[in-house]
Amino acid sequence: MKTALITGITGQDGSYMAELLLAKDYLVHGIIRRSSSFNTERIDHIYQDPHDPKPRLRLVYGDLNDASSLNRIIRTIQPDEIYHLGAQSHVRVSFDVPEYTGEVTGLGTVRLLEAIREAGLRTKFYNASSSEMFGSAPPPQNEATPFQPRSPYAAAKVYSHWMTVNYRDGYNLFACNGILFNHESPRRGETFVSRKVTKAAAKIKLGRQDKVFLGNLDARRDWGYAGDYVEAIWRMMQQDKPDDYVIATGESHSVRDLLDEAFGHVDLDWKKHVEIDPRYYRPTEVDALCGDASKAARQLDWRPRVGFKELVRMMVDSDLKQEKAKSG
């Protein structure tokens, strides 16, 4: 049985990753931060009591800011594979907390890489890079497209990406980067625009909300399904040699398209409910992202299964169900 360690296990990607690995008969360890309130709702359905004699999902306390905890965890668990998905991952918020974003999203990766190197383990390491690194580079973007980061988050991800490459080349580590374009699901955080839109559509349809405040409606993104993307991540880690891959759908849609699909699914006109709030504009905007995942298709035999319309409808339906359950 393989052993995996996941950072960010309580996040969207971490929860889908844990599900996938458990289905493939892994022993899964997840790093969580100490909190006075529970933040494990995304993995509650797969959580196993630590008093179980043989739990296959185990949670351990640690922090990407704390090298000593990461060293201890890696030396103790000695994982076969590490899936590094944890970060301060909100682009707009990164402008408000740039130093913290660099500390966690950038240096957190180096702390993990150093822990692996110092422990002398032959573990495989996956680093979650981001399409935001491409920034103002014109689409379509692939593995050869130069990075032009346009936010503290993107700059921290570029640092994280290149440090992963350097540890791969310098210390012969199996370390790979997945340059994932936007990927969404019903588990997406409610402050991200995709989930903000689908949740608003559900609440407005049920008469529990009237307005939703958004920023740039003309921004174009390549939106895919997180459940599909974790499969690509796992496939990267099963290769004979580590490499970097763009994971994307190859389709670009604007925030207006997202609104059309989400509100249209519940027979609403979004123009009657959307207001623009300048606070949601970024100081430096990324206008258009659209990925070319032909390398992943060729080398990993991976292709997205869930399309844009199906994804948005899935999220709206899930939010409707959740909202109705609150009044149940």
The residue from 16, 26, 83, 153 that is catalytic is: 153
Closest CA to 127 of 236, 48, 203: 236
- Beta strands 81-84 and 220-221: pairing type? unpaired
Task: Quickly count: other Cβ atoms within 10 Å of residue 324's Cβ.
Answer: 11
The residue from 132, 151, 225, 229 that is catalytic is: 132
Helix, strand or coil for residue 6? strand
**Residues 174/84, Cβ–Cβ less than 8 Å:** no
The residue from 69, 89, 129, 130 that is catalytic is: 130
**Residues 8/85, Cβ–Cβ less than 8 Å:** yes
**Residues 266/199, Cβ–Cβ less than 8 Å:** no
Residue 47 among the catalytic residues: no
Residue 225 among the catalytic residues: no
Question: Helical H runs in 220-288?
Answer: 226-237, 255-265
Two structure tokens written together for 14: 């971490």
Residue 153 among the catalytic residues: yes
**Residues 12/233, Cβ–Cβ less than 8 Å:** no
Residues in the chain: 328
For the annotated catalytic residues, the residue numbers are 130, 132, 153
